[in-house]
Amino acid sequence: MWTVIYITQNKSALDKLREAFEKNSIIIKVREVNQSGDSSVFEVLVPESEISQAHEILLDLQIEK
């Protein structure tokens, strides 16, 4: 089962997350949940078994919202 661990509208934050998770061999899914005009909202999902490690990575990253 996949779990949402982060929600962002910021494309550069999304790219930073992808890079960090790939570096740590964590598979992610990105789901675009709202698209209106120029803005989109993205959910970042990880497998349930990787939630703990993903949270550690999120804490280590400094992402601007």
Give the model's pLDDT for residue 38. 72
Give the model's pLDDT for residue 61. 85
Q: Is 37 left (phi over 0), alpha (psi -120 to 50) or beta?
A: left
Rounded distance, CA 5 to CA 32, Å? 14
CATH topology classification for 2-60? Alpha-Beta Plaits (3.30.70)
pLDDT in tens, the chain (65 residues): 999 999 999 899 999 999 999 999 999 999 998 777 777 899 999 999 999 999 999 998 876 54
Domain boundaries, given as residue ranges, for the chain: 2-60
Give the model's pLDDT for residue 34. 78
In the chain, how long is the greatest CA-to-CA distance?
35
Give the model's pLDDT for residue 53. 95
What pTM did the predictor assign? 0.83
Closest CA to 63 of 14, 4, 19: 14
